[in-house]
Chain A
Amino acid sequence: MPDLEVNLAKTYDAVIIGSGAAGGMAAHVLTTHGLHVLMLEAGKKLPIEQELRSMEWPYDNANRGALPPDSHSLSFNEYTIRKPPYGAGFEKAKHLKSYIGDSDYVKNIVVDERENPFTGTNYAWVRARCLGGKTNIWGRLALRLSDYDFKAKDRDGYGENWPISYSDIQPYYDKVDLYLGITGVKENLPYLPDSIFQRPTKLNCAELTLKQSLQKMGRVATQYRAGVTSDGLKHNKYRSRCYGRGACERKGGCDIHAAFDSPTGLIYPAQDTGNLTLRTNSTVREITVDPNTGKASGVHFTDSQTMKDYHVKAKVVVVAASTLESARLLLLSKSRLYPNGLANSSGHVGHNFCEHVMGPGIAGKVKDLVGKPPTLDDGRPGGFYLTRFRNLAEKHPKFIRGYGFEGSSGSAMFPRGTDVHGFGASFKEEVRKNQGAYIGMGAFGEVLSRYENFVDLDPVVKDKWGIPALRFHYKFGDNEHRMAEDMKETAQEMFEAAGFEIMYVSDRVLTEGWSIHELGTARMGNDPKTSVLNQFEQSHDVKNLFVVDGSAFVNASCQNPTWTIMSLCWRSCDYLADELKKGNL
């Protein structure tokens, strides 16, 4: 994969802004179609294997795997008490990181909050500015959406339907499964369609107990559907199959790339086609417009390190900077023709911002497993996924939409249950005896898409590159809080039914943003008055502008978004390439 120089005199077929799941997929699809593509990434290309060091023992790490002591990562309490821009009160910290940054393995992957400020309502905004973005530390749960999500309005009257159905995207889910690899077990659920799975991981005994108990309640727990190749991928020389090495719970990625990440899964193979030019350290500040045609003409970017400004021309601009950054860039791209920002004649850019609410969860102990010899339980990319069960056949009286739980159980490198009372010989023995007996899970629920939840540009605060910061106007609503109460109640009910001894149960809602599943800020739709993009993630206003990341989502569903982002992006980029060849862009 040769690194090609950017040719500023050339007009590229397409410029892609961002190198995460969406940008990587756009690069893969467009280069496969033979297009000459430039990818701009704001951050560095990190020596990622040296960052992740997935098999490093904690005692071989100077800080036992924690963030170096000169830096600080924000805690739940700090997010609650303080107001953005976060930074005041942490003057002594050399670097200030979001909550996920509390690890030596991700310290260079997530951004410094002070270089990248934002204002407004509290938000745990996790950003990774480096090649591959957040896919480098991806949680791996790879779920499909169904018509229960795409046509949710038909079921409960709320919000808007997507301009596509499951049948439109299903072939692209299949392509993503086969190209990137996914492990799981078929369940034939109408609301959670199966993927084309590679060899699944297995459930351990506690998880199997839960699964069997849930069956009696008509609920489903299934093996974690992980975007991980368990059988290997013959067409990809950059990724190994999963060897179940067991550090998957560590906050950080996979240094053999069995778990999907954008660079090894998508970008390096795209570079091998010879059609992709990649420039890192390129912070895009504006999408430029040809005043005569009204079409996008290219992008204006700043070298993130030298601060030098450049302009590059392209026939098509593909925005894949992540949901909130993509909205920010559209709003920044104001011109005489587009005074409210690019692709924003509807006024919906930045609005309908949605995600997943999380926090409520439960931990319990399986009495039969207490005191059993230690077992290997974490040699898997994930434990189990407990699928949605609310508002499927019956309507819940207190809230609409649904939630699922992610969970795991058994021994881990750092024992669970050290927060029990006491100390001394009995404490030590209790930790040892209980270490394999724990089972826990946490909920992810749909946050309703609401016009009133939005981001805009702060009139004063700017980032390190002098670019106006994003300002948040975003809060969970009543539906989310009622759902959170139900999450706690059902978690308790299901653990009790399985016979687990409950150690902890909570309906505490974590700070907005915690799920790292921001969505919806440039939603798709058939009506240009109420949506930003059409069903191919193409701007209604500007034909040669596509926004292919999570901002295109019409609702959040309760399933994790990455697999859908990539499947939609593949579909849109097939269309893009076709339209470009036809001369329609």
Chain B
Amino acid sequence: MSTNDPIDLRQDRRQWLRTSATMVGASLLPLPAVAAETSQAEAKPAASTAKADEGKSAAHFFTPVQFTLVEELSETIIPADSRSGGAKAAKVADYIDKVLRETIDDNKKSLWREGLRLIEIMSQHYHDKSFVASTAVERIAVLTVLSDNSKLTELPEVRFFNDLKELTVTGYYTSKIGIHDELEYKGNRILKEYVGCDDQGPATS
């Protein structure tokens, strides 16, 4: 895919949805499929894995496979760098899992299941591999398609991306890593005297 020109998402998605239909079977279509509960069932890991993970997954929104995908998606939104850890270290995927597990908004749950499915289809379409197996550059390329089209909110993958970004931002900047390591927030402590602008000199009444 070209990284220079913005991708026409409406044009492109016809292709990658066609690819996906031949690839994983037409049961995934039509879109936007709020048959998301079905795809969720299909996305479940093999029986043995599910059994080993039973106690855990009962209390979780994401399957282990989805959880790993969300970890990598959130890390692509806010990556680790030389200054601080990224979304993965800040356990943003745990935060998102909790939000989705507890929300009373069923549309939000459906959107996430659908969104994760579509991300996988996009990744296969553009790079012939899963998002998790992709390189950092490839991951960025997939999310750039959605970010550059973030106004096309009639498309579920765009709504998903926008919500992914919002939840990642909230989860990250309310975490210890986000507040203390990344932003070096100075407040929320007993303060002897507030220091104003240097030029201002001592405050007078």
A contact residues vs B (CB 8 Å cutoff): 55, 57-59, 64-65, 69-70, 72, 92-93, 185-186, 197-205, 207-208, 223, 243-247, 373-380, 411-415, 418, 421-425, 427-429, 431-432, 435
For A249, the closest partner residue in chain B by CB is B187
Q: In angstroms, how far is the closest chain B Cβ from the Cβ of A379? A: 4
Does B103 lie at the interface of the complex (its beta carbon under 8 Å from any beta carbon of A)?
A: yes
Q: Are A435 and B79 in contact (CB under 8 A)?
A: no
Q: Are A378 and B187 in contact (CB under 8 A)?
A: yes
Does B93 lie at the interface of the complex (its beta carbon under 8 Å from any beta carbon of A)?
A: no
Q: Are B196 and A415 in contact (CB under 8 A)?
A: no
Q: In angstroms, how far is the closest chain A Cβ from the Cβ of B145? A: 12
Interface SS majority for chain A: loop
Do A185 and B185 contact each other (CB < 8 Å), given the known contacts A376-B195, A413-B179, A427-B78? no
Q: Are B186 and A202 in contact (CB under 8 A)?
A: no
Q: Are A374 and B186 in contact (CB under 8 A)?
A: yes
Closest 3 CB pairs of A and B: A202-B196, A246-B187, A376-B186
Interface SS majority for chain B: loop
Q: Are A424 and B197 in contact (CB under 8 A)?
A: no
Q: Are A243 and B190 in contact (CB under 8 A)?
A: yes
Q: Are B140 and A245 in contact (CB under 8 A)?
A: no
Q: Are B104 and A421 in contact (CB under 8 A)?
A: no
Counting contact residues on chain B (CB < 8 A from A), the size range is: 35 or more
Residue of A58, A199, A247 ringed by the most chain B CB atoms within 10 A:
A58
Do A208 and B197 contact each other (CB < 8 Å), given the known contacts A418-B169, A423-B76? yes
A560 to B81, CA, bound (A): 45
Q: Are A202 and B179 in contact (CB under 8 A)?
A: no
A414 to B105, CA, bound (A): 25
Do A423 and B77 contact each other (CB < 8 Å), given the known contacts A59-B175, A70-B102, A208-B200? yes
B14 partner residues in chain A, CB cutoff 8 A: none
Q: Are B200 and A202 in contact (CB under 8 A)?
A: yes
List 9 A-B pairs, Cβ < 8 Å: A59-B174, A64-B174, A72-B104, A185-B205, A202-B200, A203-B200, A376-B186, A376-B191, A424-B143
Q: Are A246 and B191 in contact (CB under 8 A)?
A: yes
Q: Are A435 and B104 in contact (CB under 8 A)?
A: no
Q: Are A245 and B76 in contact (CB under 8 A)?
A: no
Q: Which of B165-203 contact A (CB under 8 A)?
A: 165, 169-171, 173-176, 179, 182-191, 193-200, 203
For A256, the closest partner residue in chain B by CB is B190
B16 partner residues in chain A, CB cutoff 8 A: none
Q: In angstroms, how far is the closest chain B Cβ from the Cβ of A3? A: 32
B205 partner residues in chain A, CB cutoff 8 A: 185-186, 197-200
A376 to B184, CA, bound (A): 10
A111 to B143, CA, bound (A): 41
Q: Are A415 and B173 in contact (CB under 8 A)?
A: yes
